[in-house]
A and B are shown apart, each in its own frame.
Chain A
Amino acid sequence: MTTQEIIDKLPYGKSFLFVDELLHIDENGAKGTYTYAKDLPFYESHFKSYPVTPAVILTETMAQIGLVCLGIYLLENIETDQNISIAMTSNAIDFLKPVVPGEKVTITSEKVYFRFNKLSCKVKMENAAGEMVCKGNISGMLISKENG
């Protein structure tokens, strides 16, 4: 399964897709990038006079690259022809630095365990200077649905 095939399988629409490139994926983890375009709609209000990427969006970006892309890859190795849905079930993230409009971030995840369809990952986000922006643990349940 190529990294492009994984991106194509992501269940998000254009306005909520936070994955640009998937640089690497194997059974132990994933690495990818995303650039927060300056015209993303939430910057207008978060905050009123100081645009900074909301922590929930950083968390979502970490989850899409670190957990969901990895989950699609892991499930694909187990079963085929199934639609996959993934629900984030818990996260614990430390936010160390703000991410301003236009910044490119790199997300790296490491699988902690994948048992009974629960995937738990250690995930970190770094900015273009290689500084840690946020890090933590994200878990989700992977559900394989029958076609349709």
Chain B
Amino acid sequence: MNKEEIIEALKTIVEPYSEEVSALAHIDENTDFINDLKINSANLVDIVLDIEEKFNIEIDNDSMAKMLTVKATTEIIVQKLEAHAG
């Protein structure tokens, strides 16, 4: 799965947790979950759990703390997928 495909999958995951229609429509690497999509910390946990399920990976506390933007989240997913494959 390449970066664009991951971002597309992320978009589908975060959509139910945000009311920010315009920010959702223009989601890209720089999108910030809290500032742009107005997602609270409780829903951020659900998003991370959805990511774990979708990509079949496990997110630890340190990674979770970094997953505040689409870019950081994508990097962590790529890294976990590679570790998984290796």
Contact = CB atoms under 8 A, between A and B. Distances in A.
B42 A115 contact: no
B79 interface: no
A147 to B, nearest CB: 22
B56 interface: no
A141 B42 contact: yes
Interface residues of A, number: 10
B64 A116 contact: yes
A55 to B, nearest CB: 21
Interface in A101-119: 113, 115-118
Given A116-B61, A116-B64, A139 B42 contact: yes
A141 B48 CA distance: 15
Nearest to A90: B42
A113 B48 CA distance: 13
Contacts of A90: 42
Q: Is the interface of B mostly helix, strand, loop or mixed?
A: helix
B41 A115 contact: no
Contacts of B40: 89
A145 to B, nearest CB: 15
B49 A113 contact: yes
Contacts of A117: 45
A117 B40 CA distance: 13
Interface in B44-77: 45-46, 48-49, 61, 64
A141 B44 CA distance: 11
Contacts of B64: 116
Interface in A69-123: 89-90, 113, 115-118
8 contacts: A89-B40, A115-B49, A116-B61, A118-B41, A118-B42, A141-B41, A141-B42, A141-B45
